[in-house]
Amino acid sequence: MPAPVVPTEGLGVLHLFFRIDRQVAPSLPPGAGKDLVTTLEELVDDAEVQLHLFSVLGHKADIMAFALAQDLGALRALQTAIQSCSAGPALELTYSYLSLTESSEYTATPEQYREEMAAKGVEGEDLERRVSEFAERMRTYGQDKLYPQMPQWETACFYPMSHRREGDDNWYALDFDERKRLMHGHGRTGRGYTGRVLQLVSGSTGLDDWEWGVTLFAHDIDDLKQIVYTMRYDEATVRYAEFGPFLTGLRRSPEELVTELGLLGPA
């Protein structure tokens, strides 16, 4: 067996988008749909991989398979399993995206927080208590970013994005403090959707065509629309953000998904 390919920290993230080839589907062997259900159920139950399945709306794809794993070989095996099952000839892989979970470089350290609190006049035991609580919050926050357990919410949207590098609107020409200021403002907007939208931003610089992959989970599809609309007014987005295609889907179990796509015929 090949040696595991594991990031130094965090998880590999793979988005696979399949379209049903309606010319090929009628010629699939009997039971191909059930074989696809069984394959997806086994992958959902695989302890090595966290797999979320969505039925995609629109022409760009029919299936979104969103998977996270520590070993990138497990993600490759998942892709192979889907494509090599008996329904595989009718599954056209129209788009994919590879990224890694990451923590933010703009998060304050306990030392920085201590200086900020001390400048506000906090001292003694109160200061130590606040710093300790802050450090614990940041530890939990960092672990959630690197090793997320994404929820079973009903809708999801994926899109890739990069920071602009054009003339005066060159993100990478800004100094660190200015970038941190802009990202903190961007984060405040996002926190207004706590409990309504859960966001995973995974890094893909050097791995895929854009710099980040963004996956949004929500109970209500209108919240997906609203958070993206609202955040486009942030300065960090107005001046420095470029977006790729958006793909939106509805969560489905393997059997629900295959049935909805018309592949679950008689055995």
- pLDDT tens-digit map of 164-218: 999 989 999 999 999 999 998 888 888 899 999 999 999 999 999 999 999 999 9
The three-class DSSP label of residue 119 is: helix
The ranges assigned to domains in the chain are 12-101+251-260
Cβ-in-10-Å burial (0-12, 13-18, 19+) of 142 comes to middle
Q: Which one-letter amino acid corresponds to residue 29?
A: P
pTM: 0.91
What are the residue numbers of the active site?
159
CATH architecture designation of domain 12-101+251-260: 2-Layer Sandwich (3.30)
End-to-end CA distance of the chain: 35
The residue with greater pLDDT, 106 or 207, is 207
Return the pLDDT at 140: 87
Q: Does residue 39 have a pLDDT over 90?
A: yes
Q: Does residue 136 have a pLDDT over 70?
A: yes
Q: Does residue 58 have a pLDDT over 80?
A: yes
* Sign (positive or negative) of CA dihedral 258, 259, 263, 266: positive
Please choose, from the candidates 147, 151, 172, the residue with its C-alpha nearest in 3D space to the C-alpha of residue 240.
172
The residue with greater pLDDT, 68 or 141, is 68
Extract the tokens encoding 92.
């056209």
Torsion (CA) 10, 246, 239, 184 in degrees, nearest 10: -40
CA angle 145, 151, 152 (to 5 degrees): 160
Confidence band for 267, pLDDT divided at 50, 70 and 90: very low
